[in-house]
Amino acid sequence: MVKPALCPLGLALVLALTPVVASTEPPDSPASDLSWVLGARAWATTGYTKWSFEGPSPLGLTAKPLSELRWRGVDSIVPEVNGEVVWKRLVLMSSVGGGGIDEGVLIDDDFALSNHQGRFSHTRSDVNDRGLFYVNGDIGVRVLALPVAATSPPGYLDYFVGYQYWHEKYVAFGATGLLDLTPFGLPVVLTEGVPANVEVLTHEYLWQSLRVGLRTQFPLYSGLGLKARAIFLPWSSSDLQDVHHLRTDLKQNPSFTSHAEGGFGVQLDGALTYAVWRGLSIEAGYQYWGLDSGSGDKITRALTATVRDKLDKITIERYGPYLGLQYRF
């Protein structure tokens, strides 16, 4: 889930720089009116996604949650291409990234009581297929620009708004675990086992989010600079398509769907950058993305009926180090 302690970092940066911004104008020289930047980075990222929903348990009570599925360690090496155009105060930015997912674990738990009490089913599956993809587009204003030497990274502060499309898909194979209904007066105890080469579950997530953020860069010493971004996702549309491949009582395309609107997310990254030759620079940093969908609707698509339950929430975290190259024209 989103780490709330990270959110004040961006706000603190805004407060610290506001007095400077109020008294500083961008440089007026013609050379600074227009600049282009093309870049690429590789993000070594670890992912954690959770889907949980409410519903009637074997005790006849509404369990919150009834079921919780956790995709843990769905890691990926994500190549990204990014670019920006700065004309006077106007800033346009975009980035596209994606990568495969060939490792991870799915943990599936069911509960008879709320607050994760009375667990009666627990299974574990391996994840070794599919991947992720995202597109970002932002427009902003440069409120601070520092004149620097040609061999140093430029200093600036930008505010921006934008849009993100973020898609992830996981496929789980095999299953080991236990189903025990004896606490509910039902003499059913099953040790669940599905061969490791059998496809058991597919989850496809889609998030579309509004972005509001700031970014800054300032030179440190002899070509070395520091850059950072703080982005808030004040509203998102979150969707899940679920296929339970071995459930004969459910439709297969999909078996469940979930949808929520609202929620909150944060995306933070920081890096050291170094100008190595003319407009060419390298960077090394760390990036964190997190999003909580909030509550919504969950639809069960049985063979003969459709049942609407309450989505508890969908949460995702993705974080890790990255290396990048940029060329400023």
**pLDDT tens profile 15-31:** 334 333 333 344 334 44
> Stretch 206-216: mean pLDDT, rounded?
98
* CA distance readout (Å), 14 to 18, 108, 230, 269, 273: 6, 42, 10, 15, 21
Is pLDDT of 179 > 70?
yes
Is pLDDT of 5 > 80?
no
pLDDT at 240: 98
- Give 102's pLDDT tier (boundaries 50, 70, 90): confident
Identify the CATH class of 4-328: mainly beta
pLDDT at 183: 75
Write down the H helix ranges in 24-149. Answer: none
Separation of alpha carbons 246 and 132, rounded Å: 24
* CA distance readout (Å), 11 to 32, 103, 231: 28, 36, 10
> Each residue of 53-92: pLDDT tens digit?
998 888 888 999 999 999 999 999 999 999 999 999 999 9
pLDDT at 22: 36
Residue 3's Cα: distance from chain center in Å? 12
Separation of alpha carbons 180 and 186, rounded Å: 9
